[in-house]
Chain A
Amino acid sequence: MINFRLNNKEVTYSGNLSECLLDVLRNEYKLTGTKCGCKEGECGACSVIVNGRLINSCLVAMGSLNNCDVLTIEGYSKSARFAALDKAYASVSAVQCGFCIPGMILASECILSEHQHPTDEDIREGISGNICRCTGYNSIVRAIELAAEDQVQNFRMSYPTIREVDLEEYVPKVAENTDNSYSADFPNSLPKTLREALVMRRKYDLIPYSGGTDLMVEENSDEKDYLFIGNLLELKNIIEDEKFIRFGAGATFYEVLNHKLTPAILKEACKQIAAPAIRNTGTVGGNIANGSAKADSALIFMVTDSKIRLASSDSERIIPISDFYLGGGKTALKNDELIIEILMPKHGIENYCYTKIGARNALAISRVSFAGIADIQDGIIKNYAVAFGAVIDTIIRRSDIDIMMIGKTIEEAKLIVDDYIDAYDEAIVPRRGRVGVEYRKDVCMNLLRDFIANTIC
């Protein structure tokens, strides 16, 4: 059972916690303004606002909504800013078939609540996860611009999103804690603390559910039992210590992207993930846990030689992220473990290159991705690292090849560049996917050569 606010009314939901919000809104609450276009977070027709942020209701299991504030078009259409948007959309005839429009209007609201004077780019980015097949988007962009000019103040939708925490109050010290009890009765997959979550994880066969953006796309997602850890504040911290920036596994891409500690290379990767609604829900922990070679943030953690902290209810370990990936979508996560945080080195990652090739500019799954880091001090290469994503079933990260560059002067490095390239030419044996082997290989090598040219030649 969960409680949440639906269009400003307290409601109690006692149905299946694994069911997606979209189905519950339409079937249980008869709120059919929220449309179903794809059921995998790729069209935005089902967008609603949860805790002030745009989300795809098809990608959210009910269990992750405890104590949340859910706003659908039915509730929103009573607001002052809806009136402004409605008028603006009407004035440029931005509504054609209308099926994307409830979601588009809510995406518009999120743009206006974030930017008082949104630019064309802000607007397009804000609706980049909402497919419209009719308009070509120009009229919708114009409508949002017009509505912004109206400067209507909407109800405040302020929710704490970016937390700042001291290292001292940073909670998870798992192994020292021996309290194996938790207050809730099973079946209850809603832990209130990380401690409870770890105990539940050990005791029951539950799938850890953080953002849900991958899990909910899977077949029969509503029949699986999840351990809802996405709302655990202990997993959402982003902090730093002497050596590392530490990203709580439950930090969403939005939170990572907007945090002052986040290094530029990671921001650049997170910025290109899917679209706003996915970034508002998807988490860095989930991006790693799915074991995918296409995971955009994972590529950055790999190239920076980040570490990953895993814990069970009675032990914890910190391992290099490269040891976490076992290939073929498998990971080193044990049945009783959760990903707690990712430790990313603070220094030596300023000089980087990141390129993602998708099939379009948003909502794109990587077809090839590349990241490179060159830490060069006083003419000496302190670190040199490259990683390739989406080429084979795991991220390619070959420190055994990169080592040939490390410790060399620029002049020395120039002499072995050809050997270095040859080594990667041999190491990269792509698989055919949405794009062919030759394509992947050429792009990898082009990007590698470009990175070398920009760093040492």
Chain B
Amino acid sequence: MECISKSIPKVDHKAKTSGQAMYVSDYPTDGMLFGRILRSTITKGVVQSISLPALPDGYYFIDASDVPGINEVHIVQDDTPIFTFNVEYIGDPIGMLFGPDERLVNKLLKQIDVEYEELEPVLDILSSDEIFFEFNIDNGDTESAFRDADDIYTGDFETGLQEHMYLETNGMIAVYKDGKMLVHGSLQCLYYVHNAVVRALGLEADDVIVRQDVTGGGFGGKEDYPSVLACQTAVAAYVTNGKPVRVVFDRAEDTIATSKRHPAYCNYKVALKDGKITGMIVDVLLDAGAYTTMSMVVLQRSTIAASGVYNIPNLRVRGHAHKTNTVPNGAFRGFGGPQTFFAIEMMMTHIAMELNMDPVDFKFLHLVKQGDPTSTRGKYHFNVPLPMMINGIIAESDYINKRNVYKNQQGRYRRGIGFSNIFHGVGFTGNGERDLIKAVVKLKKHSDDRVEILTSNTDMGQGLYTTFSKIISFTLDIPMEQIIIKPPETSNVPDSGPTVASRSITIVGELLRRAAVRLKDEWIDGKEQIIEQKYEHPEFMIPFDNDSFTGDAYPTYSWATTVVEVEVDTYTGYITIVDTWGYYDVGTPIDENIVIGQMEGGLVQSLGYGMMEKSVLSNGAVRNKQFRDYIVPTAVDFTGLNIRLHVDKYLEGPFGAKGAGEMSHVGGAPAVLDALQNALGVKLNKIPFMAEDVMDILRK
């Protein structure tokens, strides 16, 4: 283990345990105005009229006509409105009511009467013909592969809508004073919010300051949505001029209005010859919801991952995201990966079952290795450590023995054990880092020789302030106490890109390391010094061509293999997760505890995604909006987590580190479902798979 991996107390630890950390809802409320969003109660239509109750002095209502700049929230594209009269889903924002008494605001909001002309919505993704995005992969000669095949296998797979359920709901405060707009709140991506607010208000970039407050969890859920809320809050602050305006969602509003994980429908056709896969045709359909938000980039990852960790010489994938009149789906840890990795992993197990082979052996036959082409005709440039990791996890979990013993069980309680392999591509897809993000970091050495880390990357619990600080501390060989890192504010920090895509350590951390190396060289005691470091695209990468969707989508990959053991109560369908093993290669852990915490937390979310967490829609709106009915795991649910880290250093990453944050959310669900296949002796193809589904199977 590297020295740097040894864990230290996190730098933001004490503020959080003692309750002193300032989340957005903790700021003093003197003189503050409180806002609530007026949301569409119909699925699709045009607002005809809005009748307001008599508003007392100091209470305001704003709508699209009050937006001083452009009434669009800049995300990837610009179709998301700040406020709208053309509502596209239940919850679409029409306006905002705000004033000094939050309760009165709530009451007045309920008295607003909106008349609509209703239009026919599209709720079923399978009947939606409005294609937002499409990507195609066409490698080799699939036609010949299928023509010459011994056998052809097919499968349909379905994954559900997953809700982030971060503990802290979305919230934002904005104040406009002396021509300057300050916006601060719970967010992942500082400059996304900044760019969006600048555009919405038509202000100069320098006149908008965005700051991150301590953020109570994100998981992707605070990637794009805070831009929407920031624009809305900033418009209100602009209108009142001088008074701070705060909008903090209650749980129900957060669930109704904010992004979710895209539901996916995947169809696989697989050609086999001599027991090996020779060709694969995949259709990946994502339900984007009402606006495009992050769907383009999520779809890229889904499309790229459609062939999983397997080398499929002749591969055709069509990935497409369609519009429905439902809440827009966006980023969620794994970012498109969990959907297609679930599908490919299940497809592989189904073929193995048909061939009477153990799925582990069948998958092993097809694993990619260093030098192999990727699904986008890039290259796996570095060692693929999966074989070693698989051997380790199979032995530790006693998989082979259990898998056999658990076949053909009788009796009330039946066990099963299952297995999955996945990767996660590190950083933005394609040339995103080079062409879109162009990250810049700064190190500022103060005259007292303390070194301040200046990046736009946020800590939302994943430990970034600690890991960034360790990178600087180890590179400069100075104690942690000599390092300053604070929640970023745009007036201080350069744009080092968003805190997403498992990129922060690998990309931004490496820039910081390089800056620190330079600072060490140039160090002059007692003098203020600033070092700026810009992103350089790795030279080894095969250039990615967006039009043909080919080239290196990612410089490198993190790898994981997961084994899950379940017990099913055949009288009630209740599924108990007995034990889980997760082996992860994230390169060098910058802090072992922090990485293990990321693996454990993501794995538990992934197990929930597989067999516990189910969003139910009615007219396109989420019906289960609360913790009581959107069920997430408690401390007594998934108790036996066994995490092992395999270290395959990435030489372009700081100290050999590569992306860690998302990967653990990818492999749990397919492993659970495979375990259920083992327990029930059937093929399964959808998540979440719950007690009711178990009973449906048993009834047949």
Known: A45-B167, A360-B631. A86 touches B14 (CB 8 A): yes
Contact A97 B461 (CB under 8 A): yes
Contact B17 A95 (CB under 8 A): yes
Segment of B40-48, B58-66, B597-605 engaged in the interface with chain A: B597-605
Contact B695 A89 (CB under 8 A): no
Contact A365 B628 (CB under 8 A): yes
Partner of B635, one of A39, A362, A365, A435: A362
Size category, B interface? 35 or more
Measured CB to CB, the nearest residue on chain A to B251 is: A38
Segment of A100-108, A253-261, A329-337 engaged in the interface with chain B: A100-108
B156-167 contact mask (Cβ, 8 Å, vs A): 1 or 0: 000000001111
* Complex: A95 Cα to B21 Cα, angstroms: 12
Contact A124 B639 (CB under 8 A): yes
Within 8 A of A (CB), among B162-202: 164-169
Known: A360-B612, A438-B699. A93 touches B594 (CB 8 A): yes
* Complex: A139 Cα to B9 Cα, angstroms: 13
Partner of B215, one of A97, A132, A137: A97
Residue B463 at the A interface, CB < 8 A? yes
Measured CB to CB, the nearest residue on chain B to A125 is: B636
Partner of B167, one of A97, A105, A141, A359: A97
Contact B17 A97 (CB under 8 A): no
A417-457 contact mask (Cβ, 8 Å, vs B): 1 or 0: 00000000000000000111011001100110010000000
Segment of A28-36, A295-303, A343-351, A403-411 engaged in the interface with chain B: A28-36
Contact B461 A361 (CB under 8 A): no
Residue A55 at the B interface, CB < 8 A? no
Min distance, Cβ B11 to any Cβ of chain A, angstroms: 10
Set of chain B residues within 8 Å of A89, measured between Cβ atoms: 13, 17
Min distance, Cβ A6 to any Cβ of chain B, angstroms: 14
Contact B168 A33 (CB under 8 A): no
* Complex: A407 Cα to B637 Cα, angstroms: 43
B214-241 contact mask (Cβ, 8 Å, vs A): 1 or 0: 1111110000000000000000000000
Set of chain A residues within 8 Å of B692, measured between Cβ atoms: 435-436, 439
Measured CB to CB, the nearest residue on chain A to B628 is: A42
Contact A128 B18 (CB under 8 A): no
Measured CB to CB, the nearest residue on chain A to B592 is: A93
A349-368 contact mask (Cβ, 8 Å, vs B): 1 or 0: 00000010101111111011
Contact A36 B25 (CB under 8 A): yes
Set of chain A residues within 8 Å of B448, measured between Cβ atoms: none
Contact A450 B626 (CB under 8 A): no
Known: A37-B251, A435-B691. A86 touches B461 (CB 8 A): no
Residue B619 at the A interface, CB < 8 A? no
* Complex: A37 Cα to B601 Cα, angstroms: 18
Min distance, Cβ A457 to any Cβ of chain B, angstroms: 15
Set of chain B residues within 8 Å of A95, measured between Cβ atoms: 10, 12-13, 16-17
Segment of A71-79, A192-200, A243-251, A281-289 engaged in the interface with chain B: A71-79
Contact A99 B20 (CB under 8 A): no
Set of chain B residues within 8 Å of A436, measured between Cβ atoms: 692
Min distance, Cβ A332 to any Cβ of chain B, angstroms: 28
Set of chain B residues within 8 Å of A125, measured between Cβ atoms: 635-636
* Complex: A450 Cα to B460 Cα, angstroms: 49
Residue B153 at the A interface, CB < 8 A? no
Known: A96-B601, A365-B628. A140 touches B25 (CB 8 A): no
Measured CB to CB, the nearest residue on chain B to A140 is: B635
Min distance, Cβ B569 to any Cβ of chain A, angstroms: 9
* Complex: A364 Cα to B632 Cα, angstroms: 11
B1-40 contact mask (Cβ, 8 Å, vs A): 1 or 0: 0000001011011111111111101101100000000000
Contact B597 A135 (CB under 8 A): yes
Contact B633 A360 (CB under 8 A): yes
* Complex: A83 Cα to B629 Cα, angstroms: 36
Set of chain A residues within 8 Å of B9, measured between Cβ atoms: 90-91, 93
* Complex: A129 Cα to B634 Cα, angstroms: 7
Min distance, Cβ A164 to any Cβ of chain B, angstroms: 31
Min distance, Cβ B505 to any Cβ of chain A, angstroms: 15
* Complex: A320 Cα to B598 Cα, angstroms: 54
Set of chain A residues within 8 Å of B169, measured between Cβ atoms: 37
Residue A275 at the B interface, CB < 8 A? yes
Residue B573 at the A interface, CB < 8 A? yes
Set of chain A residues within 8 Å of B463, measured between Cβ atoms: 93, 96
Set of chain A residues within 8 Å of B612, measured between Cβ atoms: 359-360
Contact B168 A362 (CB under 8 A): no
Measured CB to CB, the nearest residue on chain A to B694 is: A439
* Complex: A213 Cα to B21 Cα, angstroms: 29
Set of chain A residues within 8 Å of B604, measured between Cβ atoms: 136-137
Residue A184 at the B interface, CB < 8 A? no
Measured CB to CB, the nearest residue on chain B to A105 is: B17
A17-57 contact mask (Cβ, 8 Å, vs B): 1 or 0: 00000000001001111111111101101000000000000
Contact A34 B19 (CB under 8 A): yes
Contact A124 B636 (CB under 8 A): yes
Contact B166 A97 (CB under 8 A): yes
Contact A447 B571 (CB under 8 A): yes
* Complex: A58 Cα to B322 Cα, angstroms: 41
Min distance, Cβ A114 to any Cβ of chain B, angstroms: 16
Min distance, Cβ B36 to any Cβ of chain A, angstroms: 15
* Complex: A133 Cα to B215 Cα, angstroms: 13
Residue A207 at the B interface, CB < 8 A? no
Residue A171 at the B interface, CB < 8 A? no
Contact B19 A73 (CB under 8 A): yes
Residue A292 at the B interface, CB < 8 A? no
Min distance, Cβ A152 to any Cβ of chain B, angstroms: 15
Within 8 A of A (CB), among B407-427: 412
Set of chain A residues within 8 Å of B637, measured between Cβ atoms: 360-362
Partner of B572, one of A27, A30, A368: A368
Residue B70 at the A interface, CB < 8 A? no
Measured CB to CB, the nearest residue on chain A to B627 is: A42
* Complex: A443 Cα to B463 Cα, angstroms: 45
Contact B571 A102 (CB under 8 A): no
Measured CB to CB, the nearest residue on chain B to A359 is: B631
Partner of A132, one of B7, B167, B219: B167
Set of chain B residues within 8 Å of A132, measured between Cβ atoms: 167, 635
A-B contact pairs, 27 of them (CB 8 A): A36-B25, A40-B626, A74-B18, A77-B19, A86-B14, A86-B17, A90-B14, A92-B7, A93-B7, A93-B10, A93-B463, A93-B591, A95-B13, A97-B461, A98-B15, A98-B216, A99-B217, A128-B636, A134-B167, A134-B601, A136-B597, A359-B691, A360-B636, A361-B636, A362-B636, A362-B637, A438-B699
The interface of chain A, by Cβ under 8 A from chain B, is: 27, 30-40, 42-43, 45, 72-74, 77, 82, 85-86, 89-102, 105, 120, 123-125, 127-141, 275, 355, 357, 359-365, 367-368, 434-436, 438-439, 442-443, 446-447, 450
3 closest pairs, A vs B, by CB? A33-B19, A97-B461, A98-B16
The interface of chain B, by Cβ under 8 A from chain A, is: 7, 9-10, 12-23, 25-26, 28-29, 164-169, 214-219, 250-251, 412, 460-463, 571-574, 591, 593-594, 596-597, 600-605, 612, 626-629, 631-639, 641, 690-692, 695-696, 699
